[in-house]
Amino acid sequence: MKIVNLKTLEGQEVEGLRLIQPEIFNDHRGFFYESWNQVKFNENVGESISFHQDNISFSKKDTIRGLHYQLNPKPQGKLISCSFGSVFDVAVDLRSQSLTFGSWIGVELSFENNHQLWIPPGFAHGFLVVSEFAQVQYKVNGFWDKSSERSIYWNDPELSIEWPIKNIASFKPIISTKDFSSPMFNQVKIKGDIF
């Protein structure tokens, strides 16, 4: 297992985010890898994490889910993987005291690379499906709580997320009504819905 500390486009490391690249054993039958190990995971993130829920979403190409998060006192950390297809997965730092506050990280998660992204509490999360279909799995270390749930508009100009879209001006995402009506980042900051 290889752990990668992620950096912003400006080259600044984002504290807490981890890209996990499992060791994959291939042979004539196919492949095998260890997708989860509590001891190794806790060693690599530097704290003891207990997961409470496993969630799965299945979506078609051009679907955007997010940017979602839960506020204190019931925040969620998420371990994200893509078991079928491919997604561009995004985490936005919402920790007001962080040197990378308001910065985003985007990585490809796919069936081919088997990478996982650990997103600790304090980040908003979302993804774009880039394959025809994709199945995304989330291990979360807190239960879903409607009263703590928040979101930010996926294409907020202040965040300037570089989604892998050829012509973003004409792009029509498949998106939920709730996500379409999400507030902008500045509104979230003014309201105090950050960490």
CATH-assigned architecture of domain 2-191 = Sandwich (2.60)
Overall pTM surpassing 0.85 (yes/no): yes
- The answer to whether residue 41 scores a pLDDT higher than 90 is no
Q: Which one from 52, 68, 125, 153 is the annotated catalytic residue?
A: 68
Concerning whether 52 is annotated as a catalytic residue, the answer is no
- The answer to whether residue 1 scores a pLDDT higher than 80 is no
Residue 63 vs residues 135, 159, 178: alpha-carbon distances, Å = 12, 19, 14
Q: Which one from 28, 115, 125, 138 is the annotated catalytic residue?
A: 138
Average pLDDT for 122-134: 98
pLDDT in tens, 24-38: 888 999 888 888 888
d(CA 97, CA 141): 22
* More confidently predicted of 61 and 44: 61
d(CA 143, CA 158): 30
pLDDT in tens, 67-94: 999 999 999 999 999 999 999 999 999 9
- The answer to whether residue 60 scores a pLDDT higher than 90 is yes
Q: How is the chain split into domains, by residue range?
A: 2-191
Concerning whether 68 is annotated as a catalytic residue, the answer is yes
Residue 77 vs residues 32, 50, 107, 139, 172: alpha-carbon distances, Å = 26, 10, 17, 8, 29
